[in-house]
Structure 1
Amino acid sequence: MNYLDIAIIIILGASVIYSVIKGFIRDAFSLLAVILGIVASLLFYPTGAEMLAGLITNPQIANIVSFAVIFLAVSIVVSLLGMLVSRMIKTADLSFYDRVAGGTFGLVKGYILVAVLVIVVTTLFPASARTSKITPYVVRSIRVVTDILPADYQRKIEEQKKNLENLNERTIERNDSKVSQ
């Protein structure tokens, strides 16, 4: 086992444990809070910035403040709603199922993080990926998942992979030129 294997195990384990402790409802609502906060902020920050124009004269700062306030407001409301639903689950004596579902949700979140990590590491540090015991299994599972995705998503994934490979090549070239100087 190398450092990549250890990182994969830690990420998966921590994600599952965290989600079991939090429960599915609160964990899902916290993710939903971030997503909805970003979406609402992107949609409404110009309107908020206009409302702040009398208080903040710099339009860029008004945009940033508007975005942040909308994001926080939506995130807090969705998180509070998640806490309310979570309490209802506990009151209905369904905590065990909430935690089991949370563990599953945590495993999926951890897997997504691990998949991204493995894609980056295999592209930027191929030697580390070759000595890993777990990476081949993750790579196979990524291929299975990407084969299921629509063609548009597959194309976007390939583009990002090429971008990472190009970044790696430029980094190696830059390092080689520094060494030869």
Structure 2
Amino acid sequence: MNWVDVIWLAIVILFVIRGAIKGLFREAFGLIGILVGLIVAINRYEVLGGFISGEFESIPPKIANLVSFAFIFVAIALIFGLAGITLHKMGKFSLVRGLDRAGGFLLGAGEGILVCSVILILLSISPVSENASKWTEGSIFSPHLSKVGPFVYDSIISITPGKAKKFMQKLGEIEKSLPQKR
């Protein structure tokens, strides 16, 4: 176990604690927001990236694409999170409060693992990817975490209508659009 594994554990533990405190409704909508955000960001980042490049000519298209991916992902996750807060407040006084907390605990763990996977994916396609691969050398969790995002994405896409591309193919397109590694 190296220092990167400690960071992954800390992130997951924080999400687990947060999940138990927030409850099932808020965590479910948070997790759905992350999943939907990931799918929409991967499939639509070019549209917003093109707009950003057109409006702000000083920003290179490759950087605009990275910024647009992050913006879409975060914006959708926040919208779903707000919906979860609303539902949580409505169920606060019901008899299922214990189940709400236990479900939140489990979903918090899943959300934390997925967030770690997204961080790893973004690091792998970012300009610091060479350093990131050195950081994750010898990591116990990183090889497993790096498979979570693509697995979840491909699983959801398999039940979602449309012509969405497989995750690794789409990730390759994103990586090609970023600044060249040194």
TM normalised by structure 1 equals 0.55
Structure 1 unaligned regions, length at least 5 = 36-73, 173-181
2:121 and 2:149 map into 1 onto residues whose CA distance is 9
> Secondary structure of 1:130's match?
coil
Distance 1:15 1:102 in 2: 9
Kindly name which structure, 1 or 2, has the bigger radius of gyration based on alpha carbons. Answer: 1
**Distance in 2, Cα, partners of 1:137 & 1:31:** 19
What residue ranges of structure 2 are gaps of 5+ in the alignment?
Answer: 37-79
Q: Deviation string for 1:89-132 (max 9, x for gaps)?
A: xxx1x222111100111112112101111222344122222231
Matches within 5 A, 1:100-119: 100-119=102-121
Q: Is 1:24 matched with 2:24?
A: yes
Q: CA deviation at 1:81?
A: 4.2
**Residue deviations 1:64-110 (CA, integer Å, cap 9, x gap):** xxxxxxxxxx987873443022222xxx1x22211110011111211
Tell me which protein shows more helix as a share of its residues: 1
Cα 1:28/1:158, change in 2 over 3 Å: same
TM-score, normalization: structure 2? Answer: 0.54
SS in 2 for 1:131: coil
Is 1:134 the counterpart of 2:141? The answer is: yes
* 1:79 alignment partner in structure 2: 85
CA distance in 1, matches of 2:172, 2:13: 27
Equivalent residue pairs, number: 130
1:167 aligns with 178
Q: Tell me the CA shift for residue 4 of structure 1.
A: 2.1
